[in-house]
């Protein structure tokens, strides 16, 4: 193979890789939007069932979507703060949790719990609890908020132990 043929092959492979990279970015973008949408629907439905049957709430799925969807503005605010902190600190951050700020490894149970000590996450789930209590006409807002936090932390611990029992789940962030 001559040098000219080798250069042509390299250019051809490079252009194919660029095309695949562009396709991959679009697939990732679209799948992120779809997964987020499905996850919001699923979690709103899950919390609706908890509030409806656990607290005898009287709301609808539309009310659940409002109660779960509006606090996402808090997450947007949190992402802006994280972006500014990344710029100021000069290192990557994924949240405002103690684990991220102190650079703690989240592969241990302590790290997972420290990752949940995130002011934006706490604010987000407190607003979800308040929203569900108000939208579903539940008398005790405190109990609803407490149960939302218990479900949030309990699910994180459950996923941690699932990742320990089935190591392939760690590839998905569990």
Q: What is the DSSP string of 78-142?
A: HHHHHHHHHHHHTS--S-SBHHHHTT--TTSHHHHHHHH-BHHHHHHHHHHHHHHHHHTT-S-HH
In eight-state DSSP terms, residue 2 is -
What b/e string do you get for 32-62 counting C-beta neighbours within 10 Å, with b at 16 or more?
eeeeeeeeeeeebeebbebbbeebebebeee
Residue with tokens 């992120």: 32
- 24-33, 41-50, 96-105, 137-146: lowest mean pLDDT where? 24-33
Residues 6+ apart with CB under 8 A from 77: 120
| pLDDT tens-digit map of 152-165 | 999 889 988 988 88
For the chain, what are the domain ranges? 3-172
Please say whether the beta carbons of 82 and 93 come within 8 A.
yes
pTM across the whole model: 0.77
Residue 29 has pLDDT above 90, yes or no: no
């Amino acid at each position: 193979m001559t040098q000219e043929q080798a250069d042509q092959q390299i250019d051809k492979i490079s252009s194919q890789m660029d095309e695949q990279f562009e396709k991959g970015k679009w697939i990732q973008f679209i799948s992120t939007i779809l997964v987020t949408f499905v996850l919001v629907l699923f979690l709103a439905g899950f919390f609706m069932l908890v509030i409806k049957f656990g607290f005898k709430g009287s709301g609808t799925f539309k009310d659940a979507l409002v109660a779960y969807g509006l606090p996402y503005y808090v997450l947007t605010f949190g992402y802006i703060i994280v972006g500014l902190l990344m710029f100021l600190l000069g290192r990557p951050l994924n949240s405002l949790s103690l684990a991220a700020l102190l650079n703690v490894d989240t592969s241990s149970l302590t790290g997972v719990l420290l990752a949940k000590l995130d002011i934006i996450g706490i604010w987000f789930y407190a607003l979800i609890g308040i929203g569900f209590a108000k939208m579903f006409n539940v008398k005790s807002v405190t109990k609803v908020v407490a149960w939302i936090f218990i479900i949030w932390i309990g699910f994180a611990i459950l996923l941690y132990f699932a990742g320990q029992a089935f190591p392939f789940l760690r590839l998905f962030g569990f």
